[in-house]
Chains A and B, each alone.
Chain A
C-alpha cells in the first residue's frame, strides 16, 4: 500500500538557522492551502494504492476524515466524511466483486483524492486494471420499499456524491466521484 501527498507549487526552502525557521507547528509549505485565492489553481492530492480485498478498506474513513479536516467551513464534516467513505468503499467493493471477481495478490485499486478549490469539491478517482466494461445505465435502482439482498451499493454511491462517472479503456476502469463541498 502506498500513500503520498503532493501539493503542486511547493518550493524547496534553503537551509535556515533555527531563528529563521518557521515556528514549530507553523506551515512551512510555500504552496497555497485549500483556502487559496480564486486566481490560483491548486490541487491537494492524496493517492492510495490498495490491494483489491476488503481487508484494508477501513483505511478510507481515516484518510477522508483527516483530509476533510483541512477544509474550512464545512457544515457537517463528520457526516460528510462518513458519506464519502461509504461511497468510495462501495465503489471499491464493486471493483473487488465485479471487476476483478477473484482475489489475487496482483489485483490493486488506485485511489486518488483531490481537493479542488474552484468549484470547491472533492474528486475521488478509483482505477482498476481488471479490464472488461461495466454499463452503469443497466443497473436498476433497488426497490427500497422491500428489503434488497443486492443493489444498495450503486444506489448509495449515486446518492452520496454529486457526480458519478465511469469509463473503461486500455484495460483500465476508472470511477470518478465528485462531491461539491
Chain B
C-alpha cells in the first residue's frame, strides 16, 4: 500500500499586550501585526487580560487585524480584559458580537 503522510502545522499566534492600548502606542501594535501577517500568519489570539485601557484607535487596530486575518482564511479571537470597565466598553461597542471573546487563552485556543 502506498501511503503519503504530510504534516500540516497550524500556528496560532498569541499576542498579549500589557497596559494601555491607545492612540499613542497603537502604531507599534499595528507594526507587530503587519510583521506577522507578512509572514503569512493568519490565526491570532489577542489576550487582553492585562490591558488596562483600550480606546477607539486600539479597537480599530483589532478590527484591521480581524479583517486581514479573515481575508486570508484565518481569524482573530480575543480574551476578555480583567479590567471590568474595559469589558463594559467591549460590550457597549458590541465587540463581543464581532469577535469571539473567551475567558482565557485555553478557551480561545480551543475555539479555533
Contacts and interface: CB of A to CB of B under 8 A. Distances in A.
Given A57-B24, A86-B55, A93-B23, A146 B98 contact: yes
Contacts of B64: 149
B74 to A, nearest CB: 15
Contacts, number: 70
Contacts of B95: 147
Nearest to B87: A79
- Which of A85, A86, A96 neighbours the largest number of chain B CB atoms within 10 Å of its CB? A86
Interface in B56-81: 56-57, 59-60, 62-64, 66-67
- The range of chain A's interface size is 20 to 34
A90 B55 contact: yes
Nearest to B19: A58
Interface of A is mostly: helix
Interface of B is mostly: helix
Interface in B3-49: 20, 22-24
A51 interface: no
Interface in A82-120: 82-83, 85-86, 89-90, 93, 96
Interface of B: 20, 22-24, 53, 55-57, 59-60, 62-64, 66-67, 83-86, 88-89, 92-95, 97-99
Interface of A: 54-55, 57-58, 61, 78-79, 82-83, 85-86, 89-90, 93, 96, 144-150, 152-153, 155-156, 159
20 contacts: A54-B23, A57-B23, A58-B22, A58-B24, A78-B84, A79-B88, A82-B85, A86-B53, A89-B22, A93-B57, A96-B23, A144-B93, A145-B94, A145-B98, A148-B60, A149-B63, A152-B93, A153-B55, A155-B93, A156-B92
